[in-house]
Amino acid sequence: MISLEIESTKETVLEHVKKEGVKFVEMQFSDIMGTVKSISIPSESLEEAMDEGVSIDGSSILGYSTVDESEFMGIPVLDSLQIYPWTCGTDQKTARLVCKIFHHDGNRFQGDPRLVLERATEKAKKMGFICNVGPEMEFFLLNQEEILNGIPRAYDKGRYFDLMPLDQGEKVRKEIVTHFNRMGFHIKASHHEVAPGQQEVILRHGDALSLADRVMTMKFGIRTIAKLNGLHATFMPKPFQDDNGNAMHVHQSLAHLNGENAFDDPDGKFGLSDIALNYLGGLLAHAKETCAVLTSHINSYRRLMPGYEAPCYIVWANRNRSALIRVPYLRGKGTRLEHRNPDPAGNPYLQFAVMLSAGLDGISKGIHPPQPVEKDVYSMSSEERTALGVNNLPENLGDALDQIEDSEFMKETLGDHIFQQYSSIKKMEWHEFKRQVTPWELERYIMSV
């Protein structure tokens, strides 16, 4: 077995590692921006790491701390043990354990992004709900040699749902599905996406915390599997000017503690319960504030433009795929909302946390969503959108950061440490970008003005 499906204790983890012949264990965690971090230990050191944790220099982790308060410990989550299948059959067979980050005095570090989602899911539980998410991860497969030569280019010429003769890109996608299913990640489906070289992998829904752990591991794993096949996988939101960008649509629902879908109501408006409608109302009410986390890079806003199947306007719909939030047709156990502006370049712990917190806020305050907009919003005139009360999402990272500047909702959701660090890092990135003089500007203006 690649994943440990039994209740995990120190003894069962050690026994599983020994039985499977694991040589190394990666102690995995995340910086504030969502970059996967890891400390590799030989399996002989695993028992000590479970007893005492692994030491982390926080001054070297983006957004963690300064040199005068940099000593942290990574404490493994025992039921997160999983073996990387792509290392099987080698003398470096490797497993991973997700870690929580603590101060040396035993207190939880408030800058641990996983803690933000833990708090949000605990709040949901106190309200009587379990949050389930099902992310759809998009990425491009590029030719590795061409990238090294400064010419990023899609590996194939395929388009949406194309079934092509087996090539290296198709082979890589199927290896990704095979490997992660062996790890128990439950890949629901995969297919070629709209743009050349673009792929999508769809995860089966599960609790938000487990799925965030999986997304973190998959971002690292997908790049690794691609590299082993001579390709490069990128989650960059918009690598090519004239093609669709990479999204991470997040299907989400709440379940009651007995497992029943809390969003479903056959007698409710649109077949949705009041809980679902209020959750939807909260997502829409906080859409501008959450953008800086859901679409967290300067390049993210190249994707959020009309014409590329990405949302620009704060509306919801049942069928209309130009909407920010869509309600898929399934009801019963499948009743859910699809949030369409997150991208896979962000931090899934923070992304899932701000969406869940926005929805819970909608339930707490009884926020009702406006009427759905089933017409293509892209094709509307500005006067039509104004008449319907349609607002825009932020158009760039600077606008998004302005939205969270005085947001008590975002401060409460992220916590003081991450809110301050995240805002500071992203403002520096935005100010650095504004200083740039681009080739487009030089070509357009240097001879004409």
pLDDT greater than 80 at residue 194: no
Q: Same structural domain for residues 307 and 209?
A: yes
Q: Same structural domain for residues 98 and 223?
A: no
Whole-number pLDDT of residue 143: 84
Q: Same structural domain for residues 35 and 158?
A: no
Q: Residue holding tokens 């379990």?
A: 130
338 is catalytic: yes
pLDDT in tens, 74-118: 999 999 999 999 999 999 999 999 999 999 888 999 999 999 999
pLDDT band at 242 (very low <50, low <70, confident <90, very high): confident
Whole-number pLDDT of residue 166: 56
Answer yes or no: are the C-beta atoms of 422 and 414 closer than 8 Å. Answer: yes
Which of 110, 127, 142 is where one domain is finished? Answer: 110
pLDDT in tens, 9-24: 999 999 999 999 999 9
Q: Same structural domain for residues 92 and 132?
A: no
Distances (CA, A) of 12 to 23, 48, 238: 17, 15, 44
Domain extent at residue 75: 10-110
146 is catalytic: no
pLDDT greater than 60 at residue 291: yes
42: domain CATH number?
3.10.20.70
334: domain CATH number?
3.30.590.10
Please give the mean pLDDT across all residues of the chain: 91
Cα 101 from Cα 76, distance rounded (Å): 9
**What's the count of helices (H) and strands (E) in the chain, helices before strands?**
15, 15
- Quote the percentage of the chain above a pLDDT of 90: 76
Q: Same structural domain for residues 88 and 155?
A: no
Residue 449 lies in a domain: no
- pTM above threshold 0.75: yes
Q: Same structural domain for residues 300 and 374?
A: yes
Cα 369 from Cα 372, distance rounded (Å): 8
Q: Which of 79, 112, 156, 200 is catalytic?
A: 200
Residue 2 lies in a domain: no
pLDDT in tens, 115-124: 999 999 999 9
Q: Same structural domain for residues 102 and 217?
A: no
Q: Which of 79, 112, 136, 170 is catalytic?
A: 136
pLDDT band at 375 (very low <50, low <70, confident <90, very high): confident
pLDDT greater than 90 at residue 42: yes
Answer yes or no: are the C-beta atoms of 389 and 288 closer than 8 Å. Answer: no
Q: Same structural domain for residues 100 and 182?
A: no
Which of 58, 92, 110 is where one domain is finished? Answer: 110
108 is catalytic: no
Residue 1 lies in a domain: no
Q: How would you classify the pairing of strands 129-143 and 94-103?
A: unpaired
Residue 4 lies in a domain: no
CA angle 236, 119, 218 (to 5 degrees): 30
pLDDT band at 1 (very low <50, low <70, confident <90, very high): very low
pLDDT greater than 90 at residue 171: no
Distances (CA, A) of 302 to 121, 245, 247, 290, 341: 31, 8, 12, 17, 12
Q: Same structural domain for residues 401 and 265?
A: yes
Q: Cα 45 from chain centroid?
A: 31
pLDDT in tens, 195-235: 888 999 999 999 999 999 999 999 999 999 999 998 999 99
Q: Which of 26, 193, 265, 289 is catalytic?
A: 193
139-148, 283-292, 409-418: which has the minimum mean pLDDT?
A: 139-148
193 is catalytic: yes
Cα 39 from Cα 277, distance rounded (Å): 43
Cα 236 from Cα 346, distance rounded (Å): 10
Q: Which of 204, 256, 319, 321 is catalytic?
A: 321
- Long-range Cβ pairs for the range 242-245 (8 Å, 24+): 243/154, 243/194, 243/195, 243/196, 243/198, 243/308, 244/193, 244/194, 244/195, 244/198, 244/303, 244/308, 244/309, 244/310, 245/302, 245/303, 245/308, 245/310, 245/343
Q: Same structural domain for residues 275 and 321?
A: yes
Mean pLDDT to the nearest integer, 262-276: 96
138 is catalytic: yes
Which of 60, 90, 110 is where one domain is finished? Answer: 110
Whole-number pLDDT of residue 69: 64
Whole-number pLDDT of residue 167: 64
pLDDT greater than 90 at residue 376: no
Residue 349 lies in a domain: yes
Residue 445 lies in a domain: no
CA Rg value for the chain: 22
Mean pLDDT to the nearest integer, 337-343: 96
Q: Cα 84 from chain centroid?
A: 20
Residue 131 lies in a domain: yes
Q: Same structural domain for residues 232 and 295?
A: yes
More confident residue, 321 or 378: 378
Cα 107 from Cα 127, distance rounded (Å): 26
Beta-bridged to residue 291, according to DSSP, are: none
Q: Which of 15, 48, 52, 57 is catalytic?
A: 57
- Quote the percentage of the chain above a pLDDT of 70: 94
Looking at the structure of the chain, the number of domains it has is: 2
249 is catalytic: yes
Q: Which of 179, 340, 361, 417 is catalytic?
A: 340
Whole-number pLDDT of residue 146: 73
Q: Which of 118, 138, 156, 361 is catalytic?
A: 138
443 is catalytic: no
Q: Same structural domain for residues 50 and 199?
A: no
